[in-house]
Amino acid sequence: SSSNTNSPQENKMSESGELLTELKDRVSRSIDGASAELHELSRDIWSCPELAYQESRAHDRLVAFFTHEQGWTVDARFKLETAFRAVWRTGGVGECVNVGFLCEYDALPGIGHACGHNLIAEVGAAAGLGLKAALEGAQGRLPVQVQITVLGTPAEEDVGGKVDLLKEGAFQGMDVVFMAHPSKEDATYLPCVAEHDVTIKYHGKASHASSYPWKGVNALDAAVLCYTNMSVLRQQMRPDWRVHGVIKHGGLKPNIIPDYTELEYYLRTPTRAELPVLKEKAERCFRSAAVATGCEVEIQYARNAFDNILRIPELEQLFERNGKSLGMDFTTDEDVLTNESGSTDFGNVTFVVPGIHSYFYIGSNALNHTPEYTVAAGDDKAQFFTLRTAKALAMTALDLLLQPKAMQRVKQEFIEAKLKDEKTSSRI
């Protein structure tokens, strides 16, 4: 004589809704419970900034962190010297959904953690920990078995460790992948553009700059012309393309005609399909500078190019809902939402596994890649925002694990996004 007049279907739905609420709460509580260790982790990484592919201390610190936590199987130096993998699985048998969280931890030359990758490491670790704690309390009540994979991915600020790891099959078997990047605002997505680094070397001939200048071939003149050519090209570029370069070697002494100079440029377009068009135009700038000065030119592209991000609306919506429930304040500034935000090797990952690369405010209005942002990324104030983001990611993973239909939508949208990309690419 129960007062429950629901259908069995309705009862099942409300039970699963209650379980979801219970597990999300557990995510929050477990992350809060580990906040001191997580803070120490990101603080240690911040205090000792390491450049791309040299992040050995950060790697060891993260490996030690997961080794110390119970239940994780940890692979140090996973496929790359400074990559790692930590895996945890629910106990049962049957279909297993593999959820990935990514950590980054490389710094920038000269200004340390000015992109806050120490906080990305913390978000990945915290989300993994929080999801594991929630699932441990739900064994036997889950519709699927779960694997959590936390992957440490080096060198985002350089050649792109994620692309190396993709080539090595490190993402194989992953069903969905999550990460979040520090920014000056909360956002589910910001336009991430495709990018390729290129190094241009000019070889000239040294000579006494006052006694026999006519005997020299000036490689600095070539570098200056290259820079000017690119600046002139910028005027005719599509407004959403980006080129920016530095002169890395400009000569040694004014009275020696420079016989060698080197520049590095980043070439960016909104989609990976447009990048070859820009590259061809840029190469004309590089070569013509050599022709004008009589130098030889070498054009060397980096091992990996970065792709744009394939968006999965279902993931963005779920993340936004969870973020809002935790008080995140997602930007509605159209300028921010439509302007290029830079590039990431996570773009390449999204062509292989459906994923989300969200952004989070860290308690400061400083801009990424400035000394002020370095300070903000190490400030205690960033902790609340970092852990809140980790909670929202882990909760989004729970939404997918407990609601198979949501996971199906993610998979369907992934197929559609790839098809749409192929179609638009073929028109370029």
Ligand X SMILES: NCCCC[C@H](NC(=O)CCCN)C(=O)O
Q: Write out the residues near ligand X by the rule CB under 6 A.
A: 115, 157-158, 181, 190, 192, 195, 197, 266, 341-344, 368
- Residue 207 CB, nearest distance to ligand X (Å)? 36
Which is closer to ligand X, CB of 153 or CB of 368?
368
Which is closer to ligand X, CB of 85 or CB of 181?
181
Reduced to 3 states, what is the DSSP secondary structure of residue 246?
A: strand
The candidate with the shortest Cα–Cα distance to 396, out of 217, 134, 181, is 134
Which is closer to ligand X, CB of 132 or CB of 242?
242
- Residue 177 CB, nearest distance to ligand X (Å)? 16
Degrees to nearest 5, angle at CA 189 with 186 and 194: 130
Residue 8's Cβ-side half-sphere holds a number of Cα atoms within 13 Å equal to 0
- Residue 123 CB, nearest distance to ligand X (Å)? 14
Which is closer to ligand X, CB of 31 or CB of 305?
305
Tell me the pairing of strands 194-203 and 296-301.
Answer: antiparallel
- State the Cα–Cα distance between residues 303 and 305, nearest whole angstrom: 7
Which is closer to ligand X, CB of 258 or CB of 347?
347
- Residue 197 CB, nearest distance to ligand X (Å)? 5
- Residue 342 CB, nearest distance to ligand X (Å)? 3
- Residue 31 CB, nearest distance to ligand X (Å)? 24
User: Contact at 8 Å (CB) between 239 and 223?
Assistant: no
Which is closer to ligand X, CB of 157 or CB of 274?
157
Which is closer to ligand X, CB of 120 or CB of 142?
120
Which is closer to ligand X, CB of 66 or CB of 359?
359
User: Contact at 8 Å (CB) between 221 and 293?
Assistant: yes
- Residue 229 CB, nearest distance to ligand X (Å)? 22
Neighbours of 26 (CB within 10 A): 20
* Amino acid (1-letter code) at residue 424: T
- Residue 169 CB, nearest distance to ligand X (Å)? 22
* Residues 6+ away with beta carbon under 8 Å from 25: none
Closest chain position to ligand X (CB): 342
- State the Cα–Cα distance between residues 68 and 87, nearest whole angstrom: 13
Which is closer to ligand X, CB of 229 or CB of 348?
348
Alpha carbon dihedral 356, 353, 396, 162, in 10-degree steps, equals -60
Residues β-bridged to residue 297: 202
Neighbours of 202 (CB within 10 A): 28
Structure tokens given for 390: 């980790």
* Amino acid (1-letter code) at residue 33: G
The candidate with the shortest Cα–Cα distance to 258, out of 210, 325, 203, 297, is 203
Structure tokens given for 119: 């906080």
Which is closer to ligand X, CB of 35 or CB of 199?
199
- Residue 343 CB, nearest distance to ligand X (Å)? 4
Which is closer to ligand X, CB of 122 or CB of 221?
122
User: Contact at 8 Å (CB) between 119 and 377?
Assistant: yes
- Residue 390 CB, nearest distance to ligand X (Å)? 18
- Residue 253 CB, nearest distance to ligand X (Å)? 31
* 3-state class percentages of the chain: helix first, strand second, coil last, to nearest 5: 45, 20, 35
Measure the N-to-C terminal CA separation of the chain; round to a whole number of Å.
68
* Residues 6+ away with beta carbon under 8 Å from 61: 41, 44, 45
- State the Cα–Cα distance between residues 84 and 151, nearest whole angstrom: 6
